[in-house]
Every structure is written in C-alpha cells, then in structure tokens.
Structure 1
Amino acid sequence: MTTPADELRAAVAKLRALATAAGGESWIADHYEQGTIVHPANSMRSLFRLAADGMRAAGTPHVTAPVGDWIAAMHPGVGEKLARWLETEASTWAGDEVHYRCSAQTCTLDAALAMARAINGGQS
C-alpha cells in the first residue's frame, strides 16, 4: 500500500531528476518586442529549440512575457527547494494517524501531499 510518505518521496525523486536534467541553474526571461526568450542565467542560449527547416533554423522561438516570467521563476533551483520541503514533510509524516501536530488551518502536511500528488500526476 502506498503511504502519504511514499507519495511525498516519489515527488522528491521526480523533482530532483527533472531539476538535474534541466541543468540545475537559475533561468532568466528576457523581454523583446517580438516576445520573450528564457535562458540559463550564465548563458544566452535559449531553453527553447529552434524550428528547423532542413539544416537552418527558422527563427528564434518566443513565448509571451507572462509565460516567460513563469518559466524563469520556476527554474531548477526552485525545484530543489520544493523537493527539500517535501522531503522534510515526508520525514515527519505520522503514518495514517491524525495530524496531531497541527490544525486544519495550519497543517503543512496536507499541503505537501497535495503538491506531491500534483507533481506525481495524480489527484491533488
């Protein structure tokens, strides 16, 4: 049977794998008249692939400014911090018992589990 702690740990593993694969560094959104380009903080190379026409690039891919800002804000470093929080919550989960350490208004365990389920692609 999958426990809430198992769900949290699965989300931690997924976040860390994705953050590592994405380069593990901060991203920046640069806004231009044509659109927004998102790139690693230490490189001007866009995170988006160019549409190819034979061997030539068809242009620089852009997103809208709000989408670019969102992508840049959710860089791999954020994923690692989120993974750390979920890992901490998993280590404090009290099994199937009622959360005796917090009230419904202040409980972070339920919020962590909802986040883990969203990351894992399940119900939130």
Structure 2
Amino acid sequence: MTDPSPADELRTAAARLRALATAATPGPWRQHDTHLGQYGHTATVLSGERNDTELRAWLPTMSQESWDETRNVWADAAYIAAMHPGIGLALADWLEHAAQQEAYTLAEWGHRGGGGPHALAVARTINQEQP
C-alpha cells in the first residue's frame, strides 16, 4: 500500500472538515455564563441572537462564581464558539486550494511542496496523523 500524496491528505482533511461543518448548526456561536440556581454557574456555547438562542455545548463547572477564571471551561467555551462551522468551511476551502496548488506543482514542476507545509500540518492534524 502506498502512502497518500500530500494533495490527497489535504483533500481528505478538507472533505472531513467540510462534512463536520455542514452537519453542525451554522454559526456564529457565542459563549455564555449560565446560572444553574443552587448548582452554581457553568460555561455554555449558544447559537442565535438575543432571546432566540439554542444551546450548542455545555461545559460543567458547578462553580459558585460567575466567570470563575480558576476553571478553564470559560476559555474552552470561548474557543469552541470562535471555531464555529463557518470557520470550518473556510479552513476546508483553504485546504482544498492548497491541494490544488500541491497537485499543480507536482504536475508542472515535478516536485512536491506547492500546498505549503502549514496547510499539510493542519491536514494531518485533522486526519489525526502527526504533522
């Protein structure tokens, strides 16, 4: 069995990311501090605007303080919200473009590397391989 080409790795990652992003609830998303009464506060990720929101993720802390910085879940919630499906689709487009560049460079110049090492590192991480 031969190893996949860098262009194939990039395309595989783009397809995987696009499928995940398309299946998810469209963004943008935002983080929120949700009070659970006697159970304290927890970090949540919401979609929608104002009162028309839906819960996307719940990161339990059971902290009795709002935005308790000693627990990292608020930073995690902010990151999850920032990486909503729109970002995933943009990354998939970038990876697909890098795959096209990789294939072109190999076809025209006979060597690899046209897609760039950073795009390949991202693709391998998405494909769950070592960058």
Is TM more than 0.5 here? Answer: yes
Structure with higher helix content: 2
Partner residue in 2 for 1:97 = 111
Partner residue in 1 for 2:97 = 88
Report the 3-state secondary structure (helix = DSSP H, G, I; strand = E; otherwise coil) of the residue aligned with 1:40.
Answer: strand
Report the CA distance between 1:80 and its aligned residue: 0.5
Query: Please, which runs of 5 or more residues in structure 1 have no aligned partner?
Result: 50-60, 102-107
Task: Please report the TM-score for the alignment, with normalisation by the length of structure 2.
Answer: 0.71
Partner residue in 1 for 2:38 = none
Report the CA distance between 1:44 and its aligned residue: 2.0
Partner residue in 2 for 1:54 = none
CA RMSD of aligned residues (A): 2.1
For the pair 1:5 / 2:24, whether they are aligned, the reply is no
Query: Please, which runs of 5 or more residues in structure 2 have no aligned partner?
Result: 36-40, 62-72
Partner residue in 2 for 1:75 = 84
What one-letter code is carried by the residue in structure 2 that aligns with 1:77? G
What one-letter code is carried by the residue in structure 1 that aligns with 2:111? E
Report the 3-state secondary structure (helix = DSSP H, G, I; strand = E; otherwise coil) of the residue aligned with 2:55.
Answer: coil
Report the CA distance between 1:32 and its aligned residue: 4.2
Task: Please report the TM-score for the alignment, with normalisation by the length of structure 1.
Answer: 0.75
Q: Percent identity?
A: 38
Higher relative CO (Cα under 8 Å, sequence separation at least 6) belongs to: 1
Report the 3-state secondary structure (helix = DSSP H, G, I; strand = E; otherwise coil) of the residue aligned with 2:46.
Answer: strand
Structure with higher strand content: 2
Partner residue in 2 for 1:24 = 26
Partner residue in 1 for 2:129 = 122
C-alpha spacing 1:87/1:98, structure 2 compared with 1 (3 Å) = closer
State how far apart, in whole Å, the 2-side matches of 1:86 and 1:120 are.
12
State how far apart, in whole Å, the 2-side matches of 1:118 and 1:84 are.
16
State how far apart, in whole Å, the 2-side matches of 1:23 and 1:35 are.
21
State how far apart, in whole Å, the 2-side matches of 1:122 and 1:24 are.
27
